[in-house]
Structure 1
Amino acid sequence: MNSFPEDLLAIILSKLPIKIFTALKLVCKQWKSIVESPYFRDLFQSMDQNSDSSSWSLMHYGNEKEVIAHYRFNTWGLERSLGSYITSFLTKKFESQRNNYRVWAYSTDAGLILISEVPMHVNNRSLYVANPVSQECVKIPPHHKGDSCPLGIATRTENGVLLDYKVVLFGHSDEESLLIYSSETGLWTFDTVHLSLFGFYNQTPISLHGSIHWIATNGNQDHVAVSIDFYATGTSSVQGRVTSLPDSGQQFDRSFSTCQGSLMYMRIVSVTKADGTVEDKLCVWRLKSGEWQLVSTFIYTGLKYFPMGINPFDANTIYFWSKEDRSLLSFNVRNEKFVLERKLKHSRDLTGSFFSSFVLPQWLHKIPKTVRE
């Protein structure tokens, strides 16, 4: 292959899945230069432009267990699920200390995980940002601001390149105090957001497009959507927003999710009809420009399902946990059909569990490092 012109070599290599690129860069300096070039990235993405999916999983918060796994796509070429990559990475990285480390946050647009030494509320514990598939890992310098709790990873990308990430922690004594580590500066900063929030509701925070979102309770004990933008333009500080949730009626289960680059909100409500009968209705909204837009509704009666998440690449596929059958189901919005996912039948009760979507990007992002690291 040394006799091939470099442009032909780039075309050949671009037909391989992303998972292989880390190994290709180890072959020789020429291959490393090709794979890391903007030309190669654009070439790969142009050849893969018809692909609308990538590997992803719906994870249990804090224990690296998968509820749903989709991974056999050409983009990454994975032969096993993301959960297995995470588990094997943690075992290899920390060896005999494996049980002392956990994943506390997942990114939905950069393929990164935030690993923390346990217990969770410990001053100056070890933190790592890693890609479990490429096995690239960066240790975050310690902070000195007292006890804290991981909130998430905010990322900034441009033209398919990961430019920067921020590790965000809640101050343990004050939930409105934020500790923020920036890969751009290699420093920790302290900031405060005045949101009057009191905790999470039924879901872990979601990191998307430089912001972190979650459902919380305000001072009136009402549930609200909290969003913090860590890359707000024209300001040196983070920008927080509290948005009322777009629903009414007797509340049942609700959940946040992401789909096609947007924040999604699902809720089951009970509606009393004029004749006195009661219908259960699932409503799905998309957050766009600070406003909730109703995407779909579905009415059903007598079924006890907990909405867990939406397929990140297909807004017409929603996943539920059946409380009565203790089974996982997928629902197709188009034909209004439920499908039983038999491989997880008789699994333990997932009602009220915390979930996180973990989605690999359409490109292999190199984790930024500062000179301080």
Structure 2
Amino acid sequence: MRLVPKNNGMGWATYALLGYLGFFLIDPILDHAGAVTWVWTGLGLLLFLVLYFTLFWLCGWKSVVCAFAVALLGVAYLPSNGGASCFFIYAASFLAFEEKAATSFKYIGGIAALLAVELYILHRPPVAWFVDIGLVIMIGLLNVYFSQHGRAQKKLIRAQEEIEHLAKIAERERIARDLHDVLGHTLSVIVLKSELASKLLEVDPGRAKAEMVDVEQTARHALAEVRQAIGGYRSNGLTAELAQARATLETAGIKVECEQTPVTLPATQESVLSLAVREAVTNVVRHADAARCRLELRAADGVCRLSIQDDGRGGSQQEGNGLTGMRERVEALGGTLRRETKGGTRLHITVPLGTEAGHA
């Protein structure tokens, strides 16, 4: 049974944030509390932990009710334990993740007002008002900012993915139109001439032979046109993919460093490296939680080296389908793929340049 949903976006921070519960233990420790007080304190901790981990599974009004239940836990414990103000801070933190910032502001204001009323009833000194309410408002507003910023980044990423999807559809349609324009008329001519040659074979073998020569020339011409069209699709594939990778990473709020040596690659190598860049950058954006990413492409001594490094959370040594497919394509070219996951993820790919490639 999981305590929090998989890929909740917080990772280890989900558990690190529980460290603030230490404030709730200060009063019992300093007061050398007896068994009854410790049982009461332990009950509060248990109730909080249940509410805390439940909040990660809830949304909508249910999460709001659960967050205010955390605040009410603070109401119950604050008279006997000054550290219980941390419950109000936790409540404000969770309420900061509402879809609309204005809604979060209202809820955080409600938590601050609830705390103010209790501090007034308990006749707490001004410093308690300043510190406790100040922390509730400050941490709540900071979380609102991070929440809204994260939502905006996700919208930008979705928009970028939609643009890429539409671009692929448009490219497929363009290829279909181009191939129709290139081959449609030519294949019709080949069919007609082949039929004519078949009919003339017994009547006029010389003319039939001439028609077949025309068919051969027409077919060669069509083949050349198709190769030219496909060559146009492949041009600057890796360069364009690196530019797209930079745009995608920057859209996700990741700082990008890109160092590229101009290099001319055979179509197969270029296609494999382009797919590797796309797969690696997708993993960085979706899974790495990185702040920086470095892309490096170099060519020397007959080898092209592609390196993609991020400072994110790293990952499992086990390879997924995308990485496995990438490794198979690279090794099929006689290249190597090396992946390191300590202190971020580093992907190093080398492929031979081939006889037709070299520095541009």
TM-score normalized with structure 2 length:
0.23
Please say which structure displays the higher CA radius of gyration: 2
Larger relative contact order (Cα-Cα within 8 Å, sequence gap ≥ 6): 1
